[in-house]
Each structure stands twice: as C-alpha cells, then as structure tokens.
Structure 1
Amino acid sequence: MPKIVDRTQRRDEVAAALWRLAFREGWNAVSLRRVAGEAGLSLGSLQHYFAGIDDLLDYSVGGVLDILDDRLLDQLTTLADPGHAESAVREVLRKMIPGAAEDSATTPLPENGWRIQVMAWLAVVNRAARNPDLSARLSAGSDRLADAIAAALHASAPRRSPGDARRDARGLLSLVEGLLLQLSRRDIDPDEAAQVITRFVALAFTP
C-alpha cells in the first residue's frame, strides 16, 4: 500500500526547508532544486506540492503571516487593559523584537533563532510589496495594532487628541520597524533594541 502523505504537513516541511536554506546560504541560493534537496525530496516530488518558486515563496510568507496574526491577537488582548497602558504598550512592542528578553527570568533566543525571525519578517515585507493580497493583510494588522496603541495612549492622557495619539502610535511602530532593519544588519542586538523601545514608549507617555 502506498504511503499516505499529509499534503499540508509536507508543504510546511518544504517551507521550513526554504527558511533554513535562505538563512544559511542567502536568498541567492534559493531555488526549487536546492530547496528540494534541503527537504530531502526530489525536484519532481517537490513539484507535486508547489507549481514554482513564486508559489513556494507565497506559501512560506503566508505561514509567517499566520504567526503574525496569532501574535496580533495576543497583542490586542494585552492592550485591552487601560489600567496599565504604558507597560502594556512597552510589552507589546518589545515582543515584536525577536530575541529581546522580557525580564531577567526570560531566556533570550539564541542568535540564530532571532536572526532567522528577523529575516523572515523582512521577507514578508519584501514579498508583500509585490503581492497586493499579502500587502493588504499586513497593512490591516498594522492598522489594528496602531489603533489599539493609540487608544492606550489616549486613555493614559485624555487631553491628548485622538489624532495626536494615532500619530504617536504610528511613530512607535515605525521605530520598531527601523530597529528590525538595524537588527538585520547587526548594528544593534535585541537587548539594545528593547532598551530603545522602553525609552521611546516612556517619552510617548510623558504628558
């Protein structure tokens, strides 16, 4: 009897092989043949699951977006408590930095762990720039998070106008995205990025 292979599981395994190969050898090394070898498949077998490299990239990026969507739900839940607005915003933004320790009891990710997460995020942004559906999905999540951060800022200082709160929220999210770029170049490390976030969140909440 032929072995029954779970199609979704196999596609996920191939996507994981793509991320490993891209991280280890760079995007120039990524091809269907190289990914097939990394996944332990023949090229013909891989082509049963993906029509081409674009199909594989879209699927792999979609998997990262699924993770980001799950994380977004956690972030919005954290921001729902107006009693601890500043600490909630700080916690949410620090969690957007892979490898940043939350506190002294938290063990940071090993360097390869946080660097591959940063690489995956950059790949999502790059892919979304050429794929309207992915771009819309990414923008919608960013808008929801900005609205929640703006609400937390406004709740902590009701005299702040909603427009100012929204602009400050966008500024904080832009700060995180800039820090992710610096992490990708190794200009800073995750703990330094977390310290920057702590400082600028405190400034945003200063009346």
Structure 2
Amino acid sequence: MPKIVDHEKQKEKIAEAVWNVIHREGLEQCTVRKIAKEAGLSAGSLRHYFPNQSELLIYSMKLVTNRVKVRIENMRFTGTPAECIKQLLLQLLPADEERRLEMEAWFSFTAKSLSDPALRPLRKEMNEEIYSACKLAVETLSRSGAMPEMDAGEEIERLYALVDGLALHALLEPERITADKIDSVLTRQLNTLK
C-alpha cells in the first residue's frame, strides 16, 4: 500500500527547515540541498513542493504569519487594557526560541525582498499587519480612557518603531536585549500611554 503523505504538513516541515538553516547559517546558505537535508527529503521532492526559492520563502513567511495569528487567536486576554496589549505585542517579538526563529526568518526575508520583487507584496502585507497591531494598541488604550491627550498617529509610529527596534536588537544582541528586557521596555512604553 502506498504511503499517504499530508502535503500541507510536508510543506510546513520544509518551511521549518528553512527557518533552521537561516538560524544556523544565514539566508545566503539556504540552498535547496541544505533545506532538503534539514527536512529529510531529496532535492527533487523539495522542488515538487516549491519549484523556486521565492515560492519557498513566501510560503515560509506566510507560515510565520499564520502561527502568530493562531497564537493570538488562542490567547485569553485578561487584565488591564495595557496588559492585554502588551501580551498581544509580545507575540510579535523574539521573546522565546520559537519566536526568535520566526523573527530571524522574517528579517532575512525582509532583506531578501529588497532584491527579489516577488517577495515585496508579502513584506508589505506583513509590515501592515504589524503596524495594524500597533494601531490597535494605541486605539484600544485611547478608547479605554487610559491614554492622555496625545497625537494618536505619532504614538502609533513610535510604538511601531519600538516593536521593530526591539525585535532587531534582540536578534543582534540577545545577551543585552533579553525577553525580560523586551517585556520591561514594552511595559514602560505602554505605561507612557496611560
């Protein structure tokens, strides 16, 4: 009897292999051969699922987005509006190993999108989702009455820059920008909006 293969699970396994190769060796070393080996497949099998690198990267990054969305959908938000917002924003930051792998893949993807036009629409979409989360945060705090009179547009941009900056620096300097530091800086910023 032939083996039944769950193609979606196989694609996820390949995408996770991409993240692992990026983590260990960087995007430039993310070759078909290395990804296939990491995923336990032949190069031909990998090409069956993803005929080119752009399609593989796009799928890998959509998987990051989907996992973040699932984590957020499964969260139980309790506490003050600021505490709930912080828990939401922490899902976008490398505060644990899973999110660190996702964030490394995201930044590698972002850099690659500068030279690969096929990746740009997804990069723009993902940036808009992060921006939307920051906008939701500021608007939620404003509606709750917890926010003093401020320029909401400026506060959204400031929070968006902070989230991106924390993510980047946590990847570049993990010994300095730890999960505790991310939490502390984010808490302090949200407290300025109260």
Q: TM-score, normalised by structure 2?
A: 0.80
Partner of 1:31: 31
Alignment of 1:36-75 (within 5 A): 36-71=36-71, 73=73
Question: Shift in Å at residue 71 of structure 1?
Answer: 4.3
Which of 82, 85, 90 aligns to 2:81? It is: 85
CA distance in 2, matches of 1:94, 1:188: 14
The aligned counterpart of 2:182 is: 193
Q: Distance in 2 between matches of 1:173 and 1:74?
A: 23
Within 2, Cα distance between the matches of 1:124 and 1:73? Answer: 24
Is the radius of gyration larger for structure 1 or structure 2? Answer: 1
Contact 1:32 1:43 in 2 (8 A): yes
Structure 1 position 171 matched with structure 2 position 171: no
Pairwise CA distance, 1:86: 2.5
What is the match of residue 182 of structure 1? 169
Structure 1 Cα separation of the partners of residues 124 and 35 of structure 2: 28
Which range is displaced more, 194-203 or 62-71? 62-71
| Rounded Cα–Cα distance in structure 2 between residues aligned with 1:73 and 1:147 | 18
Which position in structure 1 is the counterpart of 2:123? Answer: 135
**Does the 8 Å contact 1:58/1:127 carry over to 2?**
no
Q: For the residues of structure 2 that align with 1:53 and 1:160, how far apart are their CA atoms?
A: 48
Please tell me the residue identity of whatever aligns with 1:120: A
Counterpart amino acid of 2:88? V
Most deviating of 86-95 and 152-161: 152-161
**Structure 2: 5+ residue stretches without partners:** none
Per the alignment, residue 104 of structure 1 pairs with: none
Letter in 1 for 2:56: L
2:104: which partner in 1? 119
Following the alignment from structure 1 to structure 2, what is the Cα–Cα distance between the partners of residues 54 and 95? 26
TM-aligned CA deviation for residue 64 of structure 1: 0.7
Q: Which amino acid aligns with 2:34?
A: R
Q: Deviations over 1:73-123 (max 9, x none)?
A: 568x84xx9x93332223323343332xxxxxxxxx4xx545323313323
Measured in 2, the distance between the counterparts of 1:39 and 1:166 equals: 44
TM-aligned CA distance change 1:72 to 1:123, over 3 Å? farther
Name the residue aligned to 1:102. Answer: none
Report the alpha carbon displacement of residue 189 of structure 1 after superposing the two structures with TM.
Answer: 1.4
Report the CA distance between 1:49 and its aligned residue.
1.3
RMSD over aligned Cα, in angstroms?
Answer: 2.8
Paired residues in the alignment total: 188
Larger mean CA deviation between 37-46 and 146-155 belongs to 146-155
Could you list the structure 1 runs, at least 4 aligned residues long, displaced by more than 6 angstroms after superposition: none
Identity %: 28
After TM superposition, the score normalised by the length of structure 1 is 0.76
Show CA shifts across 1:128-186 (max 9, x none).
5543431342244234323322222322257726xx12321331121011011111111
Give the Cα separation in 2 of the matches to 1:185 and 1:8: 32
Residue 134 and residue 34 in structure 1: after superposition, are their counterparts in 2 closer, same or farther (change >3 A)?
A: same
Unaligned runs of 5+ in 1: 100-108
Deviations along 1:28-59, one digit per CA (max 9) or x if unpaired, are: 32101111111122212222111022221111
- Contact 2:14–2:39 under 8 Å retained in 1: yes
Q: Shift of residue 13 of structure 1?
A: 1.3
